[in-house]
Amino acid sequence: MKRKILFLVGLVGLVIVVALVVKTLTNRSPKQGELRVDSSPAASIFLNNKNIGRSPFTDKVTAGSYTLKLVPDSVSTQLSPWEGQIVVGQNVLTYVNATLAQSELTTAVDILWLEKISSKNSELSVTTTPDGATVMVDDATRGITPLTLADITPGDHTVTITSVGFLTRTLKVKLTAGYRLIVTMRMGLAPGGQAPVASPTAALTLTGSVTPTPKTATSSATAPDPAKPFITIKDTPTGFLRVRMEAGTSATEAGRVNPGDKFTILETHTVSDTPWYQIKYDGTNTGWVSGQYTTKTE
């Protein structure tokens, strides 16, 4: 009799444990962020090749990196689709605004996302394609892209990015202490050399660590070959090669060099079977580049 009672008690206990585990797993939701997409004209939206709707679009998305593609709906004019990489962070907003045009060169795209930082300050990071654009914050010039500003006060700001021959982009943003706003912008060529202003707005509550402003190396394409051994930068998918402060892809970006540039090798280090070369990339500062996109001359 006692065995039956113990058996029943044990069985009931097991059922309760299983029920609790199932409930816990059922209630456990993936880490999500919010994705908002606006475009002109309206476009079909593909996330990792899956059609998720049309712009304007706002929805929760599992946090992570994605390939986003916009296919314009316009039938009266042949417009070019756009495709690029985006990051969706946990519990924060990623905002994409695109002005689609007849070619990739004249298409303008703004991508803004948020990154939590350990500092109590608010930060702003701006990169553009092509780089070298002027960044103004509240009508004050703050530098040339790529640019990271760690002294931005929390609150509402107007960020304007200009470059000769390209559409001027103006963003209205809201920065919050403890977060960095990352702005990645594809500059669209202005028709006829003019620079009309496109003014998307995004009111964002900030949620990445301070990095030094990368310095861009000057081209050495017409200069004589440097002292041997030296490397020549090969063509890359991005049109430039990142210089790192240490050997390895996880190290902080220190600058960028261009295909055709040549640099004397100061030191060599191998990371995961890939050679990394230390160079003096701007005539003064040293950094490391991956041998994957270089040709070595002994």
The verdict on pTM exceeding 0.75 is: no
Tens digit of each residue's pLDDT (9 = 90 or more) over 99-146: 898 888 889 999 998 888 888 888 999 999 999 999 999 989 999 999
Strand 122-129 to 32-40 pairing = unpaired
CB 153 within 8 A of CB 182: no
- Domain extents in the chain: 32-186, 230-297
- The H-or-E segment that residue 149 falls in is strand 147-152
Give the pLDDT band of residue 36 (cuts 50, 70, 90).
very high
Q: Tell me: domain 230-297, CATH 2.30.30.40, correct?
A: yes
Tens digit of each residue's pLDDT (9 = 90 or more) over 144-163: 999 999 888 888 999 999 99
Is residue 253 predicted with pLDDT exceeding 80?
no
pLDDT for residue 121: 86
What does the DSSP 8-state code read for residue 189?
B
Structure tokens at 170: 């103006």
Q: What is the CA radius of gyration of the chain?
A: 25
In degrees rounded to 5, what are phi and psi of residue 178?
A: 90, 5
Q: Quick one: average pLDDT of 80-107?
A: 89
CB 214 within 8 A of CB 253: yes
Q: Which of 33-37, 107-111, 117-121, 200-204 has the lowest mean pLDDT?
A: 200-204
